[in-house]
Structure 1
Amino acid sequence: MSFLQVQKNIKKGILSPLYLLYGTETFLIEETIHKLLNKVLTEDQYDFNLSTYELKETPISAAVEEALTIPFMGTHRVVIVRDPQFLTGKDQSKVEHDLKAFENYITNPVPETIFIIVAPYEKLDERKKIVKLLKKEAEVLEATAFSETEMDKWLDGRVKKYDVEITKLGKEKLVQLLGNSLVMIAGEIEKLALYAGSGGVIDETVVQQLVSKTMEQDVFSLVDHVVHRRKKEALQVFYDLLKQKEEPIKILSLLARQFRILYQVKELSTRGYSQQQIAGTLKLHPYVVKLANQQGNLFDEKKLLLFIDELAETDYKIKTGKIEKQLALELFIIKVLGE
């Protein structure tokens, strides 16, 4: 089930006694837990009716025993178990887990208990009986990066809480600057909403002015200026990075990474991959793929490979002392602008 659907069900009070939350997007997992806790417990009930177990240290049987206990001074008990490595193919835990007792609970859960299994792994071992049983009986959230449509809906919902709106270009600029980090995006939205004020609009200009850029995003801007032949702007970003005491070798490394992304997106697009498939294959956000595709279209594949090779050669020359590092990067940027 999608994150947005799970959130919708919780809001409506459609709750499951079992939740399996797995995947690498921890923000979505923690947000779901937060919503569930707010729905079924008051803050003064946390001490009596909320229990969390780290399964690297505690056997699952302890959590099951707790889940069987009647709620105290409330209608629900919440039991959270974290890091269940026995759901994966790489269980390094030294704790003995009674999976039979857990299987029995999964097939006959206590209605008054919300049992949440938090598995922050990219994949579960689908061959295991316990995994199959959980996927059959529990409400499952696979916490992965949003698709473009999901990101749009999530952003709309997020800004609505602050009684503001966000434009399409505002969304794209926000994702371009912050990438897949939902934690950072959520924090920046709060700041942007306060600036826009109730009933206001967050547009591309507001995002550009207020969102703190990372070095990676400055390099992305540098590449964008380069591929669009904006020599003055490209060199200005480069010199600004140097003023910020950024190491030229690191800038070069990020430049190489960005040009590799352009090449990979172009190559996969040529093979007929969709934007969503490319995003999944390269583990990038669809917005990033969309922008990379637009940039990559300005060069053919041979030219992009040539730039990647030249960056590798520049790296070698710098590290062997054959050329001064700032000069080497300036020459590379000017050469690409002249192509």
Structure 2
Amino acid sequence: MNYLKLKQDVQAGRVAPVYFMYGTELFLMEDLIQDILSVTLSDEERDMNVSSYSLTDVPIEAALEEAETVPFFGSKRVVILKDAALFTSQKLDVEHDVKRLEQYILNPVPETVLLIMAPYEKLDERKKITKLIKKESLVLEAKPLDEGEAKAWLSSLASELQVEMDEKAIETLLGMTGLRLTQLASEMNKLALYVGEGGIIRSEDVTLLVAKTLDQNIFDLIDFAINQRTHQALSLYHELLKQKEEPLKLLALLTRQFRIMYQVKELGRRGYTPNQMAKPLKIHPYVAKLAGKKAASMSDQLLYSLIEKAADTEFAIKSGKVDKVLALELFLLTMGSRESVG
């Protein structure tokens, strides 16, 4: 089921007896679990009625015994099963009584909410237990949110924090964090405190309070250098050096970004959407979208020239021909010049 729909159902008090969460976006799993705990148990009840087990250490039958135990001083019990690799093709360190789990899934205890976490990209869909859990439980595929989902999630989070957020502020925040959900949640809490209950978060608030990621700084560095805003490019470069960023690392990130922009342009000409570009390029669709916007103002010849020039700069540094700090500075100075394309 869609993450936002699951979240809304839980917040409305519609909690199922068994949840199965799988995928690579652990933040979504943990966020849903916190919502379930909030509506299921009071703070006082949590100490006695929440149990968590890692299935890399504990056999499933031991955890299910806990799930079948009557709650203490409350009407509900929550049992969390982590690292549920038994739904994958991985070799298991602990032997599990899978039949016992099958029986529980088909006849769950009404007073217990069983949360099963399988933080893996791929499941073994051939296994009977995998087919059964996906059929009989509420399923969350915890994959990275796309741009639309991320915007909806931010709007929902703003409501929870009792603030509003305009569309431009959402765009600015997504651009500065690159859809990293843990960082987004942290920054939203900071912004909500800044504007206060009932306040409106605007783009200028985001720019003022949110620290740029290294990827965002690399984007800015390219922008400044290509558009011959030399003073800004060098100021940002030296600020990154003060933050202990290595010139060779920065050069590698610049080169990677040039390649992504070149590839995005080529795939765009072939009719690919950002979503379709994401998998072959191993980037988030939103990153592909941003790269496409940036690349639109740059010719293929310029991008190819910058990739070549970056390789030459790397060779010069590694062969000891030039100081690494000076080499990258010279590279930035020539990025927007005619020599870069000829």
Q: 1:30 — aligned with what? A: 30
Task: Answer with 244-253 or 97-106: which moved more.
Answer: 244-253
Q: 2:46 — aligned with what? A: 46
Change (3 A) 1:202 1:293: same
**How many angstroms apart in 2 are the aligned matches of 1:199 and 1:36?**
26
Residues 270-296 of structure 1: CA deviation (Å, up to 9, x unaligned): 222212222354443443222211111
**How many angstroms apart in 2 are the aligned matches of 1:185 and 1:262?**
25
Letter of the aligned partner of 1:23 in structure 2?
A: G
Q: 2:137 — aligned with what? A: 138
Residues 236-261 of structure 1: CA deviation (Å, up to 9, x unaligned): 21232234343211211111122222
Alignment of 1:65-84 (within 5 A): 65-84=65-84
Q: State the 1:222 CA deviation.
A: 0.7
Task: Answer with 62-71 or 34-43: which moved more.
Answer: 62-71
Alignment of 1:301-320 (within 5 A): 301-320=300-319
Superposition RMSD in Å: 1.9
Alignment of 1:65-104 (within 5 A): 65-91=65-91, 93-104=92-103
Percent pairwise identity: 47
Letter of the aligned partner of 2:187 in structure 1?
A: E
Q: State the 1:40 CA deviation.
A: 1.1
> With structure 2 as the length reference, what TM-score do the two structures score?
0.92
**How many angstroms apart in 2 are the aligned matches of 1:130 and 1:315?**
52
Stretches of 4+ aligned residues off by more than 4 angstroms: none
Q: Helix, strand or coil for the counterpart of 1:180?
A: coil
**How many angstroms apart in 2 are the aligned matches of 1:323 and 1:140?**
56
**How many angstroms apart in 2 are the aligned matches of 1:177 and 1:42?**
36
**How many angstroms apart in 2 are the aligned matches of 1:134 and 1:310?**
53
Letter of the aligned partner of 1:109 in structure 2?
A: P
Alignment of 1:1-339 (within 5 A): 1-91=1-91, 93-339=92-338
Query: How many equivalent residue pairs?
Result: 338
Change (3 A) 1:97 1:10: same
Letter of the aligned partner of 1:56 in structure 2?
A: T
Q: Helix, strand or coil for the counterpart of 2:335?
A: helix
**Kept in 2: contact 1:172–1:287 (CA 8 A):** no
Q: State the 1:227 CA deviation.
A: 4.0
> With structure 1 as the length reference, what TM-score do the two structures score?
0.93
Change (3 A) 1:167 1:232: farther
Letter of the aligned partner of 1:237 in structure 2?
A: L
Task: Answer with 171-180 or 139-148: which moved more.
Answer: 171-180
Q: State the 1:143 CA deviation.
A: 1.0
Letter of the aligned partner of 2:183 in structure 1?
A: M
**How many angstroms apart in 1 are the aligned matches of 2:223 and 2:58?**
51
**Kept in 2: contact 1:260–1:308 (CA 8 A):** yes
Letter of the aligned partner of 2:63 in structure 1?
A: A
**Kept in 2: contact 1:227–1:298 (CA 8 A):** no
Q: Helix, strand or coil for the counterpart of 2:94?
A: coil
**How many angstroms apart in 2 are the aligned matches of 1:282 and 1:168?**
28
Change (3 A) 1:306 1:166: same
**How many angstroms apart in 2 are the aligned matches of 1:26 and 1:281?**
23
Q: State the 1:177 CA deviation.
A: 1.7
Q: Helix, strand or coil for the counterpart of 1:80?
A: strand
Q: State the 1:155 CA deviation.
A: 0.8
Q: State the 1:229 CA deviation.
A: 4.4
Change (3 A) 1:283 1:193: farther
Q: Helix, strand or coil for the counterpart of 2:320?
A: coil
**How many angstroms apart in 1 are the aligned matches of 2:152 and 2:291?**
23
Q: State the 1:81 CA deviation.
A: 0.5
Residues 82-112 of structure 1: CA deviation (Å, up to 9, x unaligned): 0011111223x32111111111211221222
**Kept in 2: contact 1:256–1:308 (CA 8 A):** yes
**How many angstroms apart in 2 are the aligned matches of 1:267 and 1:336?**
21
Q: State the 1:128 CA deviation.
A: 1.5
User: Which blocks of at least 5 consecutive residues in structure 2 are unaligned?
Assistant: none
Q: Helix, strand or coil for the counterpart of 2:336?
A: helix
Q: State the 1:54 CA deviation.
A: 0.7
Q: Helix, strand or coil for the counterpart of 2:19?
A: strand
Q: State the 1:301 CA deviation.
A: 3.2
